[in-house]
Amino acid sequence: MRHYSTIDRCIQSLDQAVRSLVPGATTAHRTNPAQDAESKLSIHEARHVAGLMRVNHSGEVCAQALYHGQALTAKLPNVRREMEHAAIEEQDHLAWCEERLKELESIPSLLNPLWYGVSFAMGAIAGAAGDKYSLGFVAETERQVSLHLEEHLEQLPKNDQRSRQILVQMNEDELQHRDTALEAGGVDLPKSVQVSMSVVSKLVTKISYYI
Ligand SMILES: [Fe+2]
Ligand SMILES: [Fe+2]
């Protein structure tokens, strides 16, 4: 297996950040689940859905950053591989949310670089804390993301099947990521860490809806 130096890894991190933040730079590996779905929305509904999809898009930017941060500091090679694999699956989510935002004639959150930076740091700290905590952090993140996606699925207008199909597939993937992390040895995080993670995610959710 090829050995990467610290400088290689820093350049790789920068490249990953740019790819996650520049619209159109990430392409999905799987077919968009919305491809055959219909959506008929009023202007008011479309604006609300665009807000929701902007939040989901920011969530996926955060997911990319968390995985990239962890991959940088995780100690065991197999954990690093798990993180990189999950990050690739998150790229599909990012690309699908971006495509839906475009269809709704809207744009991603202007604060995504900030969310990326904060999440990258959190991921790097989790990675450095040791593999069982790192994997526990993934499991907790995915649990919180899944809860949030379920809330959004309830809020979507009934006739927006395009957004719905995307969120349903994302939720399925997030739960799979959580299970994989737990099976690989992830442990429960202290309550205080869980609460701080939920505070950051609420902040992203509230602000990205608008900007
Ligand atoms: Fe995701
Ligand atoms: Fe995930």
Q: For 62-125, give the DSSP string.
A: HHHHHHHHHHHH-SSHHHHHHHHHHHHHHHHHHHHHHHHHHHTT----TTHHHHHHHHHHHHHH
Confirm if 58 and 109 have CB atoms less than 8 A apart: yes
Q: Is residue 16 part of a domain?
A: no
Q: Is residue 14 part of a domain?
A: no
CA of 192 to the centre of ligand 2 (A): 22
Residue 112: phi, psi to the nearest 5? -55, -40
Q: Which ligand is nearest to the CA of 175?
A: 2
Q: What values do phi and psi take at 39, rounded to 5?
A: -155, 125
* 66 domain residue, yes or no: yes
**Coil, strand or helix: which one is 160?**
strand
Distance from the alpha carbon of residue 23 to the mean position of ligand 2, in angstroms: 20
> What pLDDT is stored for residue 145 in this prediction?
92
Ligand with the closest atom to the CA of 85: 2
Whether residue 115 is contained in a domain is answered as yes
Residues, Cβ < 5 Å to ion ligand 2:
142, 174, 177
Which domain, by its residues, includes 89? 40-208
Compute, in angstroms, the gap from residue 30 CA to the centroid of ligand 1. 13
CA of 174 to the centre of ligand 1 (A): 6
Judge whether residue 45 has pLDDT over 90: yes
Residue 23 covered by a domain: no
Q: Is 30 helix (H, G, I), strand (E, B) or coil?
A: coil
Cα 69 to Cα 41, 77, 85, 111, 143, distances in angstroms: 38, 14, 14, 18, 19
Which of the ligands is closest to the CA of residue 141? 2
CATH code, 151: 1.20.1260.10
Q: Which ligand is nearest to the CA of 92?
A: 1
In a domain, 159, yes or no: yes
Q: What does the pLDDT read at residue 106?
A: 95
Q: What is the distance in A from the centroid of ligand 1 to the CA of 147?
A: 12
Q: Which of 4-13, 29-38, 45-54, 151-160 has the lowest mean pLDDT?
A: 4-13
Cα–Cα separations (whole angstroms), residue 176 to 54, 138, 185: 23, 11, 15
Task: Report pLDDT for 8.
Answer: 84
DSSP 185: T
In a domain, 193, yes or no: yes
**How does pLDDT run across 129-174, given as a tens digit for each residue?**
888 888 898 899 999 999 999 999 999 999 999 999 999 999 999 9
CA 189 to centroid of ligand 1, rounded, Å: 20
pLDDT, one tens digit per residue, over 74-92 is 776 766 666 667 778 889 9
- Structural domains counted in the chain: 1
Mean model confidence pLDDT for the chain:
89
Terminus-to-terminus CA distance in the chain, angstroms?
43
* Ligand 2 centroid – CA 167 distance (Å): 12
Distance 177 CA to ligand 2 centre (A): 5
Calculate helix-pair angle for 43-73, 6-21, nearest 10 degrees.
180
| Residue 142: its H or E element | helix 131-155
Cα(87) to centroid of ligand 1, in Å?
8
**30 found inside a domain:** no
Ligand 2 centre from 93 Cα, in Å?
Answer: 9
Q: Within 10 Å of residue 86's Cβ, how many Cβ atoms?
A: 23
Of 5-14, 47-56, 201-210, where does mean pLDDT reach its minimum? 5-14
Give the pLDDT confidence score for residue 107 in this predicted structure.
95
